[in-house]
Chain A
Amino acid sequence: MQDLIELLISATAGGCIYALFALSYLVVLRPTGVINFAVGDWGTVAAFGGFLALSEAALPWPIGMAFVIIAAFGLGWLTERIAVRPLVERGAPVLAPILALLGMLVIFREAVSVAFGPDPRPIPQPFGYGRIEFGLLAASYQSIFIIGITASVFVGAWYFFERTLAGRSFEAVALDRRAAALMGINLRRVTSFAFGAGASIAALAALLLTPNTSAHYLMGIPLAIQGFTALVIGGVGRTEGALVGGIILALAEQLTMRYVPIAPGLVQGVPLLLLIIFLLVRPTGLLAARGASA
C-alpha cells in the first residue's frame, strides 16, 4: 500500500509538470488561437537560466526562481514580437505563426546547445534529497514542493481568468477578437501578455522539474508533447482542464509502468493511445467550456 501511495504522489507531481506546460499552451491558445509548440523550449532556456542563477551564481531559490520567471516573461514577449505579430499584422493564415514558432523552437534549442554545450547541467534541489515518511505516506520533498507550487499557480490562474477584468478580457478575445477590439480591448497588449505569461509558466515548470532531471538542450520536445497531450485530455475550454489532463496523463503513465504486465517498451505508447481515445471520444476534452456542449 505504501508503494501505491508513494507512486500516486510521485505521479501527481509529474502530472503537475505536464499541467503547467498545458497551462502554458492554454494561456497563449485562448486569446490567439495559436498552438505554440515552443513551450518546451521556453522551458529549456529557463532551465539553463536556472543553472546560471541557482548553480553558478548560487542565488537563494526564491530569488533565482523569480529572476528566471521574470526573464522568461521577456522571452515570451520577444517571441511574440518576432515570430507572431508580424505575421498576424500581414494577415497570414493561422498556420503561419504555428510554423514560425516551430522555427523558434529550433533556434532556442540550438542557441542553448551552442552557449552551454551538449552536456546536462545540474540544478540544486531546493530542499535536498530528503523524503517524508509518515505512516503509509511517503514522498520526496521535491514532489511535495512541485504539488504545492502548482496548486498555487492554478488557483491564481483560475482567479485571474474568472474574477478579474483583465482575465475577462482574455476570455472576450478568445470568444470574438473583432468584437473584443470594438469593445476597447487592446488586442496587442492581450497577445503580448499571453505570450509573456505562457513563457513564465513554462519556465516555472522547468525550474520545478530540472532538480530531478538536470537541464539538457534536448529536454524541450518531450515536455511539449506531454503538455499538449495533457491539454487535449483536459480540454482547452477551462483552466482547470490543464491540471486534470496533466494528472490523468501522469497517472496513466506511471500506474501502467508499475502495475500493468506489458513489455516495458510498449508502456510508452499508453499516453499516445490515451490521446487518440480522447480525440475520438471526447474531442473537447474532459472539461468542456462553460456553456458549451461536448
Chain B
Amino acid sequence: MLNRALTAATLVASLALACAAPLATAQSQTPIRIGIITDRVGPAKPYAEPVTLGAVFAAREINAKGGVLGRPIELQIEDDQGRPDISATMARKLVDAGAVMIVSLSLSTATQQAQTVSLETKTPHFTPSNSGDTLTTQIANPWFWQSGPLGSAQVATLLSYARARNLKRVALITETSALGQMTARSFREALQRNQIEIVAEEVVPGGATTAEPQMQKIRAANPEALFMAGVVTPENVLMLRAYRQLGLKMPILASYNMSVPVYSSVAKGLLDGIAFVDAFDPARPEAKRFSEAFRKDSGTEPYNLHGYGYDGIYLVADAIRRAGSTDKDKIREAMQATRGFVGVMGAQGSTYGFADGRRTGFDTNGMVVRVYEQDQQGRVVHTGSR
C-alpha cells in the first residue's frame, strides 16, 4: 500500500514538475536533477519509504513555489534494495544521468559504499536520515554530508536525561542489524566515557523467536537501567515482551527507533514508561506547519521519518540556491557553508549546519526525550545533551 502511495506521490510530483509555472527560457525550464537512492525491497524499507515520501513532498512544495534558481527540481529515485554493491551502482547511474546531488535514504552500509562513487566522480552526496557515526569518519570524502542524528548524540541525550538518576551500573541490549550494532557501539563508548559500568550486554539475533535468555541474564545482573540500542522493530518487540514477561522493573532508555509510531500497535501494552530519544518535537512550530501541510496533501499523518526526507531536500535546495548554479564544485562549497538552517526536525530552536569543516549537520543539542504514556508517544520531557 505504501509502495502504491509512493508511486502515486512520485507521479504527482512529476505532474507538478510538468505543470510548474511558465518559465522564461528553454534553459530555465530544464529541471535540476537530484538523485535519490532508497530501499524499496530490502531491510531498510520500513524506514526508507516514509523518508522518501517526505522528500517527494518537499520537492513538490518547492516546485509549487517556483523551484530553485527559476528551475523545477526533479527527483530521480533509484532502489538499491539495501545492498551496498547495488547502492554504488545506482550512484554511478545517477551521476551518468546528470544528477547534481545524490541523496542516500537507504541503509548506512549502503550509503557508505555509494560514497566511493561520489568521491571518485566529485558529486555532492548527502544523507538526511542515516545515523551511523562512522559515515563521515571512515572515508575522507569532502563531497559527503549527513544530517541525521548520530548514535553518539542519542546516547548523550539519554544520559543527560538520566543524570539525576546518577547511574553506575546499566545493561545494554541490541540486535544484529548493522545499524543496531553501530548504535550499540556508540552507546557503549559513551557509557564507558561516563564511567558507567555495563554489567550485561546482550544481542537478540535477527529472526529470533524469543528474547527471554537475554532478559534473564539482564535480570540476574541487576542493572539500574536498561539501554535499548536496537533499531529493528520485531526484535525490539521481543525484548519488550520478555522484559514484561519476566517482571523486570528497571527503567528503559531507548534509541530513536522507538519513536516510530508502529510500536503503538505492535507493542501495545508493553510501552508505558519507556523513555526514548527522538529528533521530532511535535510542538515545534515548523513541525506543526509541516504536519498540517503533509496531512492536507496526502491525507495521512506524517511522523519523524517523513521529516528527515523533507528537511533533506530543503537543505539541498538551499545549497543549490546559495551556489547560484548547478556546478558541483559550487554546490559543494555552498553545502559545506550551511549554517543555522531551520528545518522541521530537532528540538525547538535547533538548526542544521556544517561549521568548522564538520560534515555532520544535526545539532548535538537538538534531540529530545519523550516518554510513552498509555501506549502513545508522550510529550517532550527533556531537551539536549548538556
**1/0 per position for A97-119, CB-CB distance to B under 8 A?**
00000000000001001111111
- Separation in Å of the B350 CB from the closest CB of chain A? 28
- Given A113-B41, A223-B207, are A119 and B262 also a contact pair (CB < 8 Å)? yes
**Which residues of the other chain, A, contact B3 by a CB distance below 8 angstroms?**
113-114, 117
Of the candidate stretches A2-10, A65-73, A170-178, A285-293, the one touching chain B is A2-10
Q: Is the CB of B202 within 8 A of A212?
A: no
| Per-residue contact bits, chain A 243-266, to B (CB 8 Å; 1 contact, 0 not) | 000000010001101100000110
* Bound-complex Cα distance A10 to B246 (A): 12
In chain A, residues 4-19, which have Cβ atoms closer than 8 Å to a Cβ of chain B? 6-7, 10-11, 13-14, 17-18
The answer to the question of B306 belonging to the interface, with a C-beta cut-off of 8 Å to chain A, is: no
Taking a contact as CB atoms closer than 8 A, the residue among B209, B213, B214, B265 that contacts A212 in the complex is: B209
Provide the B244-265 mask, 1 if CB < 8 A to any CB of A, else 0.
1110000000000000001001
In the complex, A118 Cα to B245 Cα: how many Å? 27
Whole-angstrom CA separation of A114 from B49 in the bound complex: 12
- A-B contacts, 29 listed (Cβ < 8 Å): A3-B220, A6-B212, A7-B212, A13-B209, A14-B209, A113-B3, A113-B45, A115-B1, A117-B1, A117-B3, A119-B46, A120-B46, A120-B234, A121-B266, A129-B245, A129-B269, A129-B270, A212-B209, A213-B209, A213-B234, A219-B207, A221-B207, A226-B207, A250-B209, A258-B217, A264-B201, A264-B214, A265-B176, A267-B205
A258-B241 contact given A118-B49, A221-B207, CB 8 Å threshold: no
A-B contact count (CB 8 A): 105
For the complex formed, measure the closest distance between the CB of A53 and the CB atoms of chain B, giving whole angstroms: 16
CB proximity to B under 8 Å, residues A129-184: 129, 131, 140
Residues of chain A contacted by B208 (CB below 8 angstroms): 222
Q: Check B213–A7 contact: CB distance below 8 A.
A: yes
Contacts of B45 in A (CB 8 A): 113, 118
1/0 per residue, CB under 8 A from A, across B210-236: the answer is: 101110110010000000000001100
Q: What distance in Å separates the Cβ of A290 from its nearest Cβ neighbour in chain B?
A: 31
> Is B233 a contact partner of A214 (Cβ separation < 8 A)?
yes
Instruction: List 8 additional contacts besides A117-B3, A214-B233, A267-B205; criterion CB under 8 Å.
Output: A10-B213, A113-B41, A120-B262, A122-B265, A129-B270, A222-B206, A222-B207, A268-B205
Interface size of A by Cβ–Cβ distance < 8 Å?
44
Tell me whether B203 and A264 are in contact (CB under 8 A).
Answer: yes
Q: Which residue of A lies closest to B217 (CB)?
A: A258
Distance A214 CA – B270 CA, assembled complex (angstroms): 13
Q: Which residue of B lies closest to A9 (CB)?
A: B212
CB distance from A103 to the nearest CB of B (A): 15
Q: Are B266 and A214 in contact (CB under 8 A)?
A: yes
A contact residues around B217 at 8 Å (CB) = 257-258
B43, CB-defined interface residue at 8 Å: yes
Given the interface contacts A117-B2, A265-B203, does A258 sit within 8 Å of B268 by beta carbon? no
Residues of A near B209 (CB, < 8 A) are: 13-14, 17-18, 209, 212-213, 250
Give chain A residues whose Cβ lies under 8 Å from the Cβ of B266: 120-122, 214
Is A30's CB within 8 Å of the partner chain B?
no
